[in-house]
Every structure is written in C-alpha cells, then in structure tokens.
Chain A
C-alpha cells in the first residue's frame, strides 16, 4: 500500500490521475473503519489533510458559501450556523464530538451512504458539488450527485474540492429518528428549507431510499398551497391539515426497506411526522421573523 501525501490541490489532482484507485482520506471516519475491519485494502491512500484550502470556506458575492471539502462538522456548527442552519443542525447529530472534529461534508459526499447526515440539508439548500480532476473542474448539482447506494457522480480521477451552498434566506430544519440520543445512525432523517425570496420550499430525505432524495411532489404541493392561499404575503398560520398533507407526500416520496434499524412502514410513518413538524417549525419561525422585521 502506498501513502500519498500531496501538499497542494494541484498535486493531489495529479496524484489522483496517476492512481485512480487511490482512496482519498481526510477525516478517516469511513476509510479507516474499512481498513481496521479489513473490509477493503486499497492500493494507495491519498491523504488530503495537508491541503490547507480544503479546511477553509469563502463567502461569494451572491452569499453562497464555498465550503472546503474537509471542513470538519465542528467548524460548521461553530462558525456557520447562521448561514447554513440546516447543515449545522444536521452536523450536530453526526456521531460524537470526536467524529465531528474530523468528519466533513466532503467525506459524506464521497461515501454517499444514504444515512449520511449532511445529505438532506444539502438537498434542501440546493447545493452544488465542485469536483475537479486534471481534466478540469465541474459543478454537479446535488440533485444529480447521488447515483445509488454508496455510489456518486464522481469520475475515478476526480476529487471533491468544495461544496457551494446558498446562504439561508429563510428558516431551515433537520430532524432524525434513532434509538439513541446521540451517536445515532439515522433510522430516517429529513430536512426542509424555506426560501422566501424564491417563494420556494425544498426538502431532503435520508435513510429511506437507496439514495438521499428530495420529496418533489411534497415540494410542489406546499409551493402551490403557499402561493394559492397567499401565505407568503400574509405570513398567516399554516393550517395543520396542510402540514399533514405535506408529511404524507414526503412519506410517499420515500422508498424505504425493512432493515435492522426499522421497518419500511415505520420509516414512512416517521418521515411523515418529521416533515409535518419541521415544516410547522420553519413556517412559525418564518412568521416570527417576519413580524420582528415588520
């Protein structure tokens, strides 16, 4: 096995081009488990820890956060809860403090496990993945990124450099059901983001389908409801029946399986509950902020 330690991003891309089978390692929270359990023994490890820029973020003129792939969850929680509230909430539920000091969104995306906690908020925020190789850089919309269980849209010579996430323009929420109060692998999870300027609502579902996915029908429903009833303008109370219907449509968008952590039927049920709750929370937040601003 080789241990490759590029010092710069350009060097990393060159190394990855030469060794497409090299496994990138940053926080090690997935890669080292495979090595420790001897599940997978790659030809080479590609250590990204020395590339400083991957641990940094920038704010673009349009308020989009360009989040370095290796920024640990603990930094997102501490430094970006206002701009990326949904992701920060999801990050808080990742593993333990020790894991959050090492794990990163880049790792979650690279692993593409349907249970990854970053995925639902990224879907709800409308993030874009910046992937690069010696051949060039491309921006992959998050909706196109997840291809299957633990499969993503990266080419073998590509590395994730950053994730572009629009700063929140409205309330965002994240919810997760598990058997423990911490260190929880999601039975299922859900994120919702209100985008008041665009009069849009976006969602993300985790652990309830082969890939993280949006609940498109639920989004279309709530968009139409909010438009038709003039609620965006009036900032009135969201009827419970609307939230319930939204929840049902979210549950319908899932394609869960029975597994060790929960039955398919339970996952649908819990998703409906979480979707209803988080929609009401965000809408009530939105109304409160609106009133405060008025």
Chain B
C-alpha cells in the first residue's frame, strides 16, 4: 500500500483549473456578482508626511448615488490588528488602523472612503472631497536616513572577518544597489464583503484566507467562526496578497456601514501604495580568497528601507550565511525608516536582492582570480550548512552546476570580457547559484470518499497560479487509487482545515503531506471498520494487502448505507529538524548587448534546480520559468521610482513600471536535478515557487560584464547605466 512509486505523483498532469480559466468562467473576487452590490473607492493622500488639517466632504455626501463618506476620524470603529512584523506576529501588512487619525505617514495613504451605488458614482463622489494638509518634508532617500539595527536582530558572526581578509591572497569589495519593486500581480487586490447580522462573508484576492479571517474577526470584534473568507481563484500574488492590507478592513467596514454587500477594488495606481513593496536595498560585500579560490572571508552588510511603523527587514544576507563554506563570515542587517508605505515580502524576499549582490561579487572574485566562476563555486561548496553545522536534508547543487553548464554549453575557457562581438552587438555569458530556505508551517486537510465513486479533498490553502488544485489532486489520487478527474479539490475557504499562507514556497512541501495524511486517514478508517465487520467482504483481510480504489470504497459505503465518509489529516513539520532544508539551483544566461546604445537582451537562460521531488513537472517547470523571468525583470526593468522631494511614486502604472513582454524573452530552459528529499516529509518535495528568482539577476549582470567589461552594480541594468560604465560608446 506504500504510495512511493505510484502513477500520479510525478506525472505532468494538465491543470484541472485550465478549462474554467480558458473559457472565462473562473470566478475571481472582482467577478463575484451579489444582489445590491455597492462600490467603495479610496481617497489617498497626496502628501507623504504631515497632517490632514481639513477635509470637506459636504459635496461628496450629497453627490448622486453616494451612500456613505468615511474620513480619517476613527468613526468606523475598526479595532487594532497586529502586524506580521510586530512581536505579536499578526496578519496585517501594516499595523496602523486605517482611517483612524489625521497623521499622514506616506504618499498614497488611505484618507477617506466613498461608498456609492455604482463605481462611477463612488469615483465622482470621491472627486468632490477637498483636503487640506499641513506638510512636512518627507524622508524618502535611503542615503538621507540613519541606519538602525532592527529590533531583536543580531549580526551573524562566524570566525573573524578581519583575520579572514588578512590571510586572503585576493580581496574584492563592492557596493550594490537595488530599487524598490512592486509585485504587480495581474489581478489588482479586490475585496467584496457582505454582513448578515454579525456574520461576515468576504471574497478576497489573498494568499492567506485564515489571516484575513483572523484580521477581520479582531477588527470587528466577532468570533473567527463568524467570518468566512473565500478565495477560489487568485490572479497572482507574489507577496502583495500574503498579509492583510488596510483596504480589506475598509471593505468590511463599508459593508457594515451601508448594510449592503460592498466591493472595493484597488486600481492599478493604488496597488503601488496599498499592498506593500519590496524595499530598496544598499549592500556592501567584501570577499577574501586564497589564490586557489577558497574563500577566507565573506562580509555582507545590507541596509533596507522600511516604514516609520513597521520593522520590515529585507534579509539580503540570509543566503550568504549558508551558500558557501567559509570560516570567517560577518553579516549585518540594518534598516532605515523612510516616510513610505510599509514594505513586505516579495517573491524570494531578501534572497532576490541579496543574491544579486553576493553572486555578482563572486563573479568579480572569479574575474580577479582568472578562474571559471563555476569552478570558484565548486571549490567553496558547502557540504553541510555552514551556519549551523547541520547536514543538508538533500542537496544536489554540484549536479545543478554540472547539468546546467552542460545544457547551456558553458565554456570555462572563454571568460575574458568583451571578446565576443557580432557587429555592434557584444555577447556574454554569466552564471550564478541559487538557494531557497524552507520555512516549515503546520497544515491540516480534509478528505472525503463518496458513494458515487468520487472524492473531495479540501484545505484552506490557495491556488495563486501555482497549480495547487492540480498538484494536491495528484497527491490524493495516489493514496485513494482514483484518477485526479474524480477528485474534487477545494481551496480558498476558511471553512476548510487551516493551512499556512501561500508564501515561502511552502504549499506543496507542507500542505501536500497534510493532504496525504487526510487521504490515508479516510482510507484507513474505512478499511479498519470493514475488516472488523463480519458483514463486509473485507472481513479479516489484511489491510495492507487490499488494493484500494473506488470499487473498494463504493461497495463498502453502499453496504453500510453511508453517502460518504471523511477524515481530517495533519502535518506538523519538525521545527527543530536536525537537517537544514533548502532548495538549490544554478542559473546560466547569455546576453546580447548593443555596444553603442547599451540595450541588453537576454538571448537564453538555463536553470538547473534541486527542489526535491517534483510532483508535477509541468506546473513546477512553469513556476521556475516564471521565477527566472521575474529575475530577468529585476535585472533589466523593474524599479519603482520615488520622487526624492515629494515622496510619491512616479508613474504608478504598467506603462511606467515595466514588466517583461513576450518579445523580451529568449529561450528559457529548466532542468530538474536531484531526488526526493527524505528528510522534509514522506512526500519528499521542497519548494519551487521562488528559487527561480534567486540568482537570476546576478547571472544576467555577470553576463553583461562578460559581454562588455562593464560591471553594473545598480539594478535595473538600464541602457544608460551600461553606457555610463562603458569606455566604448559613441
């Protein structure tokens, strides 16, 4: 009965949500049509710091269709809910209670809300509000602020950095900068809330239905059981929907106020100030190495921006402490407080900007040593976790380098910059390592066998585009002996057993085993009863010898006259594992740089990844390809520009904030390396959602250096930066 080698796990099954998504019938939050639905719009601050001195809402209140106008006077009665970054580790992305006072903390802060019969009437009403402010000069540049040690955070010190540098034959020191970036999932955050008495139903585009439920229960003083949060389809998240943002509370407050269902959809421009950002970072890396490439010292100082009220740390040094074997390591993490919205985790938090700096610096060291950058990494391979000494739960990073280099056609001899030219176009190749740590979270799940030969599984997790519906069905299929099309998968509903938020690449790794436990429980309960029942044809059979499937359970259910049986299963990952659990990978990139205009095109990328067992190669591959493209975007395009004086986002929309289009992508290839991880769970799967991002930008930056001899240490690598660093030019 062991499901270790079974047909559905590992199969490239087609997505079960494909048909509804291609016919336009998948219902996302903004598609939920409720009778009497009213619309709320948010008015946002046009200054970055100061106070509201006066707000005239008389004209708005009398505008056609307007049902309510709410100002920042605290009268909505929203209770305080703790932030994710506070000691209480609450669900909010920003712990300030919305519309509770007149203090302005950042540009784009919600300062009023208008609820009307139609969206147009709400917008027209909002336009009639006149606000006066007392301005203060905002602090918005990281360079202008004084770095602080984040509360409760200690430097990571291993050995002695000074000694390590003293014994080095070669040292490299460099500064790197990364800009603020916005997640910009295609679906803007949307909430629809509906009260019936003291019971609240909320449709929300979220990566964390349980967090939304808990936040709303606290904010409105009702038991969590009175709040149901539904999120069947989510149009991407990338972290912007991983915590609960003020607009969610405001939607529920609006619905209570007007006693009707209310939809509140953030506009694309509002997405730039309402649901987090990856903060800007400044990083300094110092490396020391022997002539043979062995690292003697790694210093990584990272400073990231946060808001006045939240202690968000973009942990750029997290991967530095584990990626290479090095006796002398110092990692310092500092924050600066800027008058900006609270940042949050964006896909591969800390590791995305951190890997850009660390893996660029390794490339700089390889260049100094005249050494193949792959070889340099192999010579510093960490055979055990250098930060804890623990063995790895599974690590095939050497294989990633080897297989990736082979597929890519990596030439270790061709490492001199600026030597491959096709007319005005310079060609270069670069590589980088990738890693992503797993953060274990407990999960529960539900499974039900039905007399009609189908099954239902359910968990309050999410499919944010990742393939959860499909992959969980495959896991269940093997246990239940059913093809996935006979299994109904339910997600995104707080009535289902609780799961962690869909963040940190943890859904398959930790929710998957819970699904397996639930399926085993319902199967084993049924069989245990059957073999003990003299009336059953299975009486006294050995459970392990029974081939389980619909024929078995349909007959049993029919015999005992039950339409269905169900069970709940739990998975509690070992928080104190004696293994260090990380995914690993290697990126290889080839770029073509116009020597004169400095434009960079990525011709091709190969990523080789060890993510443990791959449950579905098709969905996993797509996740990794998407991650690599995310990294490409960070390398070449993505940056949120903040006005240095007024503190607003310049061009907060998709014409100003560039995401890659289809024509920007060359050939991308993903290879799976490795094997099931025996130590994370009996499923053996680690995370694949984020590691594709880690190191991708560095691989491209390193390829640009190889092409041109220009080292761009500030993201994104725009044409003007390439030209500015270039001696070639006009």
CB-CB under 8 A for A179 and B636, given A266-B723, A269-B730, A274-B597: yes
- Do A182 and B662 touch (CB < 8 A)? yes
The chain B residue with its CB closest to the CB of A248 is: B730
Is the pair A269, B729 in contact by a Cβ cutoff of 8 Å?
yes
B641–A260 contact, CB under 8 A? yes
Q: Mark B339-374, 1 if CB is under 8 A from A, else 0.
A: 000000000000000000000000000000000000
The answer to whether B1 has its CB under 8 Å from any CB of chain A is: no
Q: Complex: how many Å from CA A273 to CA B595?
A: 10
Residues of B within 8 A of A38 (CB): 123, 127
Which A residue sits closest to B600, measured CB to CB? A179
Decide if A270 is an interface residue (CB 8 Å cutoff): yes
Known pairs A260-B641, A272-B730; A180 contacts B664 (CB<8 A): yes
| Cβ–Cβ contact B718 & A179, under 8 A | yes
Kindly supply a per-residue 1/0 record for chain A positions 180-208, scoring 1 wherever the CB is within 8 Å of any chain B CB and 0 otherwise.
Answer: 11110101000000000000000000000
With a cutoff of 8 Å between Cβ atoms, the chain B residues found around residue A185 in the complex are 655
Q: How many Å from the CB of B42 to the closest CB on chain A?
A: 12
Q: Is the CB of A181 within 8 A of B127?
A: no
**What 0/1 pattern do residues 103 to 144 of B give for CB contact below 8 A with A?**
000000000000000000001100100000000000000000
Q: Is B663 an interface residue (CB 8 A)?
A: yes
Could you say which residues of chain A place their CB within 8 Å of the CB of B601? 181
Tell whether, in the assembled complex, residue A270 and residue B664 are in contact, meaning their CB atoms are under 8 Å apart. no
Measured in the bound complex, the distance between the Cα atoms of B651 and A135 in whole Å is 40
Flag whether B162 is at the interface (Cβ < 8 A): no
Whether A262 is near chain B, meaning CB under 8 Å from some CB there, is yes
| Interfacial chain A residues near B663, Cβ < 8 Å | 180-182
Inter-subunit contact B720/A37 (CB<8 Å): no
Name B's interface SS: loop
Q: How far is B729's CA from A277's CA once the two chains are assembled, in angstroms?
A: 13
From the candidates A181, A269, A270, A272, name the one contacting B661 in the complex (CB within 8 A). Answer: A181
Question: A262: which of B596, B653, B662, B720 is its contact (CB, 8 Å)?
Answer: B720
Asked, given contacts A247-B730, A273-B596, whether A41 binds B127 with beta carbons under 8 Å apart, the answer is yes
B605 to chain A, nearest CB (A): 15
Cβ-defined contact, B596 with A260, below 8 A = no
Q: Which residues of A contact B637 (CB under 8 A)?
A: 179-180
B269 contacts the other chain (CB 8 A): yes
Query: Residue A177 at the B interface, CB < 8 A?
Result: yes
A274 to B424, CA, bound (A): 12
Q: Could you tell me the distance in whole angstroms from the C-beta of A22 to the nearest C-beta in chain B?
A: 19
Known: A180-B637, A260-B650, A272-B730. A187 touches B719 (CB 8 A): yes
List of B residues within 8 angstroms of A270 by Cβ: 597-598, 719, 723
Q: Closest Cβ of chain A: how far from B195's Cβ, in Å?
A: 29
Report chain B residues within 8 Å CB of A272: 730
Across the two chains, which residue of chain A brings its CB closest to B123?
Answer: A38
Residues from 195 to 251 in A contacting B, C-beta threshold 8 Å: 244, 247
Q: State how many angstroms separate the Cβ of B489 from the closest Cβ of chain A.
A: 35
B718: which A residues are within 8 A, CB to CB? 179, 262
Q: Is A8 positioned at the interface, with any CB of B under 8 Å from its CB?
A: no
Query: Considering the chains assembled together, what is the distance between the CA atoms of A37 and B126 in angstroms?
Result: 13
Which A residues lie within 8 Å of B221 (CB)? none
Q: A247-B730, A269-B729 are in contact. Are A179 and B719 (CB under 8 A)?
A: yes
- The listed residue with most B CB atoms (<10 A of its CB), out of A177, A179, A180, A273, is A179
> Which chain B residues lie closer than 8 Å to A244 at the CB level?
730
**Please, which residue of chain B has its CB at the minimum distance from the CB of A38?**
B123
Is B724 an interface residue when CB atoms closer than 8 A count as contact? yes
Residue from the set A262, A265, A274 with the largest chain B CB neighbour count within 10 Å: A262
A58 interfacial contact with B, CB 8 Å: no
Once bound together, how far apart are the Cα atoms of A67 and B561, in whole Å?
Answer: 78
Q: Known: A177-B599, A182-B661, A273-B596. Is A266-B724 also a contact (CB below 8 A)?
A: yes
Interface hits, A164-189 → B, CB 8 Å: 177-183, 185, 187
Q: Does B578 contact A (CB under 8 A)?
A: no
Tell me if A101 is interfacial: C-beta within 8 Å of chain B.
Answer: no
- List of A residues within 8 angstroms of B729 by Cβ: 269
Closest residue to B721 on the A side, CB-wise?
Answer: A266
| A18, chain B: closest CB distance, angstroms | 24
What is the CA–CA distance of A181 and B663 in the complex, to the nearest angstrom?
6
Contact with B along A12-39 (1 / 0, CB 8 A): 0000000000000000000000000110
Q: Is A263 an interface residue (CB 8 A)?
A: yes
* Chain B residues, Cβ within 8 Å of A269: 723, 729-730
Q: A-facing mask of B548-561, CB < 8 A → 1, else 0? A: 00000000000000
Question: Roughly how many angstroms separate A274 CA and B596 CA in the complex, as a whole number?
Answer: 9
A264 to B417: give the CA distance in the assembly, Å: 28
B596: chain A residues at CB < 8 Å are 273, 277
**Residues of chain B with a CB closer than 8 A to A263's CB:** 720, 724
Which chain B residues (624-666) contact chain A, with CB distance < 8 Å? 636-637, 641, 650-651, 653, 655-656, 658, 660-664
CA distance A180 to B662 in the complex (A): 10
Flag whether B267 is at the interface (Cβ < 8 A): yes
B664 touches A181 (CB 8 A): yes
**Considering the chains assembled together, what is the distance between the CA atoms of A185 and B637 in angstroms?**
13
B651 — which chain A residues lie within 8 A by C-beta?
A: 260
Chain B residues near A187: list those with CB within 8 A. 719-720
A218 → chain B closest CB, angstroms: 14
Closest-by-CB residue of B relative to A263 is B720
CB-CB contacts below 8 Å: B430-462 with A: none
7 contacts between A and B (CB under 8 A): A38-B123, A178-B599, A180-B637, A180-B664, A182-B663, A263-B720, A270-B598
Pairs of residues from A and B, 5 with the lowest C-beta to C-beta distance, nearest first: A266-B720, A181-B663, A182-B663, A273-B596, A181-B664
Give me 19 other A-B pairs in contact (C-beta within 8 A), A179-B716, A183-B661 excluded: A37-B269, A38-B123, A38-B127, A177-B599, A178-B599, A179-B599, A179-B719, A180-B637, A180-B658, A181-B601, A181-B661, A185-B655, A262-B718, A263-B724, A266-B720, A269-B723, A270-B597, A273-B597, A274-B597
